[in-house]
Chain A
Amino acid sequence: MPALAEMIARGRLIEAHRPCPRIAVEEDLWRAFASMLAEGRATLLGLWGEAGAVHMGLLDEAESAACIVTRPCPEGHFPSVGRAHPPAIRLERTIRDLFGLEPRGLPDPRPWLDHGRWGLRHPLAIHPAPVSAPEPYPFLTSEGEGLHQIPVGPVHAGVIEPGHFRFTANGEAIVRLEERLGYAHKGVDSLTTGAPIERAARLAGRMSGDSTVAYALAFARAVEAALAIEIPPRAIWLRALMAELERLANHFGDIGAICNDVAFALMHAHCGVLRERVLRAAAASFGHRLMMDCIVPGGVGVDLAEGAAAPVRELLDVARGAFPALIELYDNTASLQDRTVGAGVLSMALARQYGCGGFIGRASGRNFDARRNLPYPPYDALAFEVPALSDGDVNARVWIRIREVEQSLSLVEQILDAMPEGPISVPLPANKSGEGMALVEGFRGDVLASVRLDAAGRVACSRLRDPSWFQWPLLEAAIEGNIVADFPLCNKSFNCSYSGHDL
């Protein structure tokens, strides 16, 4: 059984890629990598295309080593990874929709992001095809006595993101759930291609609004890796501060929202207050509630002025004072526990197979955190724990968030205490080419950014992969055997991104 490092040595190394290796491979080696994934010897980090080539990111969790494998496909097809490794199926359907590259042997012939409304097919291929009559989208069938379908969405009764859910149910019991996504497609791939770095960075920060810091950080780190530049220490620490504040805000929001979905508005109200505190502290310290565009390639765009850390310190005091009582309220409300314990169980095997990150993976025993497994500064100098549970139910996902809030509060304090002085950014070298990738832990899980810069210093190809790509399919599995009325609760406990997924 060759390890990832040995396999990498068999491909043709592309020098310009940093920090991990990128290799170009032919068909047999591509298949060998695919079977590595299928056998569970590596984790799929991402699978994306460009006109005339497909790229696959792999991670060896035991060795903490990553690599990117590129298969040029001038003939317009490549061997399907999804045939043997299901987590790749939606990614390959997306490659076919956008770039017209055919994954040979892919079991699912249906489109994914393309709903027949783009006006042309394969818009990013070298030769886009005109669109023919819109084809119906056949949902997977379930047959049996008393089974009926419930279509939900993409427009919902509440103001939430669009997604279609097709339930096959027998009364209340769910037999099958099938998702249909892609309603929030905005063409980030084509918008970034050929764009100057600054514009691409702004677009990256808009992939998914709740993770804007994580995306901006991932993109900036990928660009900096491509250009081989070091950024000032103060910028590194400020970025970590923003990332932890974002995590805090989202986790507070999620914990409350999960409880609100079972009509326990008390938690929602109190967690909402805490989330608002975080956002206001962010606004006071960095000038934007969500800290959008605060992280730029080369450093950070805003410095923490003298005394501007005071709102953040105040936030720490408030949160540390209020949060333990909320944990107790959550833990001691029997009617709430009755709903969350045992609902929507995700098996450990599936979480591992899909390389599922974030609180979903960690609640199902996959103890992976990019901040620790593929450490990037300043996390290598900070003390924190990565909580993990193995129950895999809604309750476990709430508890992971609770523990992560505690860790993030500690991290914010450590960061504030150790914040170095100095400049906050360096200018980017002009007209320099290069390739880089970065894996950053957002609140939802690991965000992957891969960037290639051309000789004019523009973005030749970039791909941002949301953690939700490997979480959405698992929601379908976790909901099986639950009842229809429990779906919103399970869905909220997953809290996958529509926008980040739909590109």
Chain B
Amino acid sequence: MIFDLAIQNAQMLLVLALAPLLTGFIRKVKARLLRRQGPPLLQPYRDLLRLLRKEAVLAENASWLFRVIPYLIFAATWVAASLVPTFAAGLMFNWSADLIAVIALLGSARFFLALAGMDAGTSFGGIGSSREMMIATLAEPATIMIVFTLALLAGSTQLSVVAGFMLSPAVGLRVSLGLALVALVMVAIAENARIPIDNPATHLELTMVHEAMLLEYSGRHLAVIELAASLKLLLYMSLIACVFIPWGQAQPGGGASAQMIGVAAYIAKLAAGGVLLALFETAVAKMRVFRVSDFLGAALMLGLLGTLLLFVSRSL
């Protein structure tokens, strides 16, 4: 029991500690791909520290909601991130909530961020919020379809159960899983405001989605939101790793050595994910805002197809 609690706490702290590193790592890889030196790996931590030390400037007509929202977003994202099994499955919190809860938490965080974008009444915030909502209306149903596919296969929406099922020989080679994987990757790209949906490095206020909602934030508020964004990226990578490549993950009842292997495997998976994301982002341009619906519509259809296939044929 104590050991379980320790592992659970270790996992919660690990995701928090690793999240900025993942962001820094992706930036570094992208910079190297562009023949640049790039900022040091630890730069995101320094940025967070710098922001924390700075004064938080508030817009004159910002409401109390504007001040509270960064913490709400952070809390929701952190809780969601600790629900996803990273290096070990079957942790205490895993049983308290399932994949649907993770999606609901992220959806609430997004809802609050969109509110904050509109709170100060600037035009950029409004633009960002409206674009974010357009993305949400397509990304969230797509995610739900993916969850259905997994749930139908594994017989549960509990992530630990899904991971355990994926490790068992009962999985076989399934088309619907492939469809779900592609759809989940597409959703993850959109949810994390990455190229080709959004550009996390842009300075062009008119093209922003995620950044446009944050334009009025500064100081500790901005730091907390930035950390939440890093956490969300880590969450999605962990989710993909947990569901589709759970190998190496410590299973319930595993000892300390299994946990160590789990941590090593987890970090290797994150690194691989980071490299792949950087490669992909370097190779494509951002799409027109109105093409986003095509992109996410495809994700939704893939998810739907994956679910349907399971009804049509038990072996697909």
Contact = CB atoms under 8 A, between A and B. Distances in A.
A158 B123 CA distance: 17
Contact of B285 (A150, A156, A171, A336): A336
Given A265-B30, A266-B34, A483 B288 contact: yes
B287 interface: yes
B248 to A, nearest CB: 33
B290 A172 contact: yes
Interface string A218-262: 000000000000000000000000000000000000000001011
Contacts of B285: 259, 262-264, 333, 335-336, 338-339
A268 B35 CA distance: 11
A10 B249 CA distance: 92
Contact of A263 (B130, B131, B195, B291): B195
A165 to B, nearest CB: 9
Given A265-B34, A266-B34, A338-B285, A156 B196 contact: no
A266 B33 CA distance: 8
Contacts of A263: 195-196, 199, 201-202, 281, 285-286
Interface residues of A, number: 33
Interface in B186-212: 195-196, 199, 201-208
B127 A150 contact: yes
Interface in A171-185: 171-172
A151 B285 CA distance: 27
Contacts of B291: 338
Contacts of B30: 265
A148 B196 CA distance: 27
Contact of A488 (B123, B206, B287): B206
Majority secondary structure of chain B interface residues (helix, strand, loop or mixed)? loop
Given A273-B35, A335-B196, A157 B215 contact: yes
B282 A339 contact: no
Contacts of A159: 203
Nearest to A484: B206
Interface string A325-355: 0000000010110110000000000000000
Contacts of A261: 204, 207
A484 B215 contact: no
Contacts of B196: 263, 335
Given A158-B204, A263-B196, A263-B199, A172 B289 contact: yes
Nearest to B208: A157
Given A171-B130, A484-B206, A262 B34 contact: no
Given A171-B130, A264-B284, A339-B286, A150 B123 contact: yes
A487 interface: yes
Nearest to B284: A335
A334 B215 CA distance: 31
Given A259-B285, A265-B282, A157 B203 contact: yes
A269 B34 contact: yes
Contacts of B284: 264, 333, 335
B283 interface: yes
B36 interface: yes
B34 A488 contact: no
Nearest to A266: B282
A485 B202 CA distance: 12
A205 B16 CA distance: 53
Contacts of B288: 338-339, 483, 485-486
Interface in A290-347: 333, 335-336, 338-339
A147 to B, nearest CB: 13
Nearest to B289: A485
A120 interface: no
Interface of A: 148-152, 156-159, 171-172, 259, 261-266, 268-270, 273, 333, 335-336, 338-339, 483-488
11 contacts: A151-B123, A263-B202, A264-B284, A265-B30, A269-B35, A333-B285, A339-B285, A483-B288, A485-B131, A485-B206, A485-B289
